[in-house]
Chains A and B, each alone.
Chain A
Amino acid sequence: MTADTDAITMCAPIVARKAGFVQDVVSIARRSIRQLPRDLPTVVPALMIPLFFLMVNIGSLQDVAAFTDIEISYKAFQLPVSIVFAVTGVSRAPALVLDIQNGYFDRLMTTPVSRRALLLGHMLADFVLVVMLAVPVIVLGFAIGVRFPTGPLGVLMFVTIGACWGVAYTGIPYAIALKTGNPGAVNSSFLLFFPFAFLTTAYLPLDSMTGWLAEVARFNPVTYLLAGLRSLFVGWQWRELAKSFLAILGLAVVSQTLSFRALRGRVSLN
């Protein structure tokens, strides 16, 4: 027997066992988070869009907005729009598609990992990702003079709301990824957000909007999300914050129902 084979024989006492649901989620999340810096080329463009919109919207609409009854500065009014653009549609779904295509997903499927952990682990990584994306937007906000009267806790709440919204939305790209296994389809999932992003109070407050646009905006969850975020530039308005969390909850219920249904289909043995 060689030294090599001696070494292999030594492995006998190690016995495989189920790691448990929490450990499964942590393992999948760790792997996904570790890959974030390697996927920067796909993340950076996603960050450029909200920063660009922030500067352009402020530059082009600031003076017009002076004629409306916005109670905060237009820069502060626009910062939530920028955060929402930064965190919406960003997810590890493209990496999941790659896993499906290169066979790594099958490898995971031959382990006793909880199938729900395969998705939740990625979503945990998404939370880290969207927080990472929110930070530069807020830094830019500070740089252009936006201040939070609610203090550091207000900033924390601002990031938390944005991150929760971002993670709630990930159900859409994950559903598409698991259903199609197609990277192109996943990348275009952000387009589904466009009607929600523009048929809302992105540029003007609800009271200044008229006609059908005002009606649509009234039923758009993004309207309440933005109102909650903007309220943090006024003070602690719990009613507005509660409405934004309700909007997030509503989105999460719809999008994550779709994603977990798609997961069931993908991991079904049929």
Chain B
Amino acid sequence: MTIREHAGVRVQNLVRSFGPLTAVDGINLVVEPGEIYGFLGPNGAGKSTVVRMLCTLLAPTSGSASVAGLDVVESPDEVRLAIGVALQEAGLDQNMTGREILLTQGRLFGLTRAEIERRIQELSPIIDMDAIDRLVGTYSGGMARRLDLAAALMHNPRVLFLDEPTTGLDPAGRQRVWEEVRRLNEEVGLTLFLTTQYLEEADELADRVGIIDHGTIVAEGTPAELKRSIGTDVVTAVVDGATAAAQAALTGIDGLGPVDVFGDEVRVSTENGGRALSPIALALAGAGVEVRELSLRTPTLDDVFLDVTGHRLEGGAA
């Protein structure tokens, strides 16, 4: 892996307020050079606001942030030279062709015509070359996203910010973007900061995940670490209202972790789900709790999200 120096992201006590609303509330994070950092959270959690600050589109209210070793407030132009950005809505002019978008992008980053042409060839695995001279307005969502990604990479950035790169794409389109992201990271050593509301995306792509909710990072670690933090297995019982009785029945059973209630669902983590299943079923039956559904599975990031925020990630299923 070709890890480039100073290609990370450092954020300290970053705050952004809009009037009385605090959208980002004192976050700290470090993304190491060559790392894929997944910023996971629901709509409105503050993900895009953080990205806009790191991409020099928005000034922090307080705190500091540096990208590729450059302070985003003190050296915005130098930061812009070092980063590639694909924001949530593909920022493309529908009235331009794909080639024109890339040409303009290249020129604004000081590239010569020859460099631009070469770069278009280098990025051809991402771009739909058959459609490069067509107006972007005729592109499908996936084609537009890939062109957006190519535009973000035209000037060979050191850090790439992808704000919800696969939102609105079909599974095949999503898979293709994931492959490109992995390849860019593995082959070029690009540092990637990606926001997502899809658990599967964070799980698949990110070396480390930061979970953000209400403007605060509530958990951070590798996907495996985060999942391990709530146990090896998770047993979930849907009990249709009798949650208090179920919680009481399960609390204290040998080998079970804390019993949590989320809506009609009672969830308990355990080191050995197979062995715990029978005692759990018996305890619930003994307490007269009618169980609609009893399941055993390994923890997901959704469980982690639920654990640290107390609610599920809306639209979390990728």
A positions within 8 Å CB-CB of B? 1, 4-5, 7-12, 14-20, 23-24, 27-28, 30-31, 34-35, 38-39, 95, 98-99, 102-113, 269-270
Indicate if the CB atoms of B104 and A18 lie closer than 8 Å.
no
Digitize B152-185: 1 where CB-to-A-CB distance is under 8 Å, 0 elsewhere.
0001110000000000000000000000000110
With beta carbons under 8 angstroms apart, the residue of A10, A38, A103, A110 that contacts B89 is A103
Known: A14-B156, A16-B111. A110 touches B59 (CB 8 A): no
Contact with A along B93-124 (1 / 0, CB 8 A): 11110001000110111110001001101111
Which residues does chain B contribute within 8 Å of A35, judged by CB atoms? 93, 95-96
Whether, in the assembled complex, B230 has its beta carbon less than 8 Å from a beta carbon of chain A, the answer is no
Task: Give which listed residue, B2, B87, B115, B122, contacts A107 with CB less than 8 A.
Answer: B87
Instruction: Tell me the minimal C-beta distance from A32 to chain B in angstroms.
Output: 10
A-B contact pairs, 29 of them (CB 8 A): A5-B187, A8-B125, A8-B183, A8-B184, A11-B123, A11-B188, A12-B156, A14-B119, A14-B155, A15-B156, A16-B82, A16-B156, A17-B109, A18-B81, A19-B109, A27-B108, A28-B104, A30-B104, A39-B95, A99-B93, A102-B91, A104-B91, A106-B57, A107-B91, A107-B92, A107-B105, A109-B56, A112-B109, A269-B58
> For the complex, would chain A's binding face be called helix, strand, loop or mixed by DSSP majority?
helix
B85 sits at the interface (CB 8 A): yes
Q: How far is the CB of B33 from chain A (nearest CB, A)?
A: 15
Which residues of B are in contact with A by a Cβ distance under 8 Å?
Answer: 2, 55-59, 76-77, 80-83, 85, 87, 89-96, 100, 104-105, 107-111, 115, 118-119, 121-125, 135, 151, 155-157, 183-184, 187-188
Expressed in whole angstroms, the Cα–Cα distance for A243 and B96 within the complex equals 41
CB distance from A178 to the nearest CB of B (A): 16
- Shortest beta-carbon distance, A162 to chain B, in Å? 27
Indicate if the CB atoms of B188 and A16 lie closer than 8 Å: no
CB of A19 within 8 A of CB of B93, answer no
Closest CB of chain A to B155's CB: distance in Å? 4
Is A17 in contact with B96, judged by CB distance below 8 angstroms?
no
Per a CB cutoff under 8 Å, which of B89, B95, B122, B157 touches A8?
Answer: B122
5 A-B pairs besides A8-B122, A17-B81, A24-B108 with CB distance below 8 A are A27-B108, A31-B104, A102-B93, A107-B91, A269-B57
Give the 6 A-B residue pairs with the shortest CB-CB distance, closest first: A103-B91, A107-B91, A16-B155, A269-B59, A4-B125, A17-B110
How far is A31 from B187 in the complex, measured between Cα atoms in Å?
Answer: 33
A102 touches B94 (CB 8 A): yes
Which residue of A is nearest B80, CB measured? A112
Determine how close the nearest CB of chain B comes to the CB of A21; give it in whole angstroms: 12
Q: Give the distance to chain B from A113, nearest Cβ to Cβ, in Å.
A: 5
Which partner residue on chain A sits nearest B112 by CB separation?
Answer: A14
Residue of A nearest to B126 (CB): A8
Which chain A residues border B59 with CB–CB below 8 Å? 269-270
The residue on B at minimum CB distance from A1 is B187
Residue ID in chain B nearest A95 by CB atoms: B95
- Chain A residues with Cβ below 8 Å from B151 are 107
Whether B155 lies near A110 (C-beta < 8 A) is no
Q: In the complex, what residue of chain A is closest to B97 when comparing beta carbons?
A: A34
Among A5, A12, A107, find the residue whose CB has the most chain B CB atoms closer than 10 A.
A107
Q: Name the contact of A269 in the complex, choosing from B56, B92, B119 (C-beta under 8 A).
A: B56
User: Please, how many angstroms separate the alpha-carbon atoms of A24 and B89 in the complex?
Assistant: 24
Beta-carbon contact of B122 and A27 below 8 Å:
no
| Complex contact A110–B83 (CB within 8 A) | yes
Please determine whether B57 and A18 come into contact, CB atoms closer than 8 angstroms. Answer: no
Contacts of A270 in B (CB 8 A): 59
Q: Please determine whether B156 and A106 come into contact, CB atoms closer than 8 angstroms.
A: no
User: How near does chain B come to A110, taking the closest CB pair, in angstroms?
Assistant: 4
For B119, list chain A residues within 8 Å (CB).
11, 14
In the bound complex, CA of A104 to CA of B2 (Å) = 31
Chain A residues contacting B125 (CB-CB under 8 Å) are 4-5, 7-8
A213 to B135 alpha-carbon distance, docked (Å): 50
Q: Which residues of B contact A34 (CB under 8 A)?
A: 96, 100
Known: A112-B80, A269-B56. A27 touches B104 (CB 8 A): yes
Nearest-neighbour CB distance to chain B for A43, whole angstroms, equals: 13
The residue of chain A having its C-beta at the shortest distance from the C-beta of B60 within the complex is: A269
Q: With A9-B188, A18-B81 given, is the CB distance from A110 to B93 under 8 Å?
A: no
Tell me the minimal C-beta distance from B219 to chain A in angstroms: 29
Report if A111-B90 is in contact (Cβ < 8 Å); known contacts: A8-B122, A23-B107: no
Query: Which residues on the A side are within 8 Å of B96 (C-beta)?
Result: 31, 34-35
A267: nearest chain-B partner, CB-CB: B57
B87 CB to closest chain A CB, in angstroms? 6
Inter-chain contact B87/A103, CB cutoff 8 Å: yes
Select from chain B the residue with minimum beta-carbon distance to A105.
Answer: B91
Known: A110-B57, A269-B58. Is A27-B107 also a contact (CB below 8 A)?
yes
- A9 CB, min distance to chain B CBs, angstroms: 6
Chain B residue with Cβ nearest A101: B89
Residues of A within 8 A of B184 (CB): 8
Residue among B56, B58, B92, B108 facing the most chain A CB atoms (10 A cut-off): B108
- In the docked arrangement, what's the CA distance between A95 and B93, Å? 9
A205 and B93 CA atoms in complex are apart in Å by 47
A11 touches B110 (CB 8 A): no
- Tell whether A16 pairs with B93 under 8 Å between CB atoms, given A27-B104, A110-B56: no
Q: Is the CB of A104 within 8 A of B110?
A: no
Contact of B93 among A1, A18, A104, A269 (CB under 8 A): A104
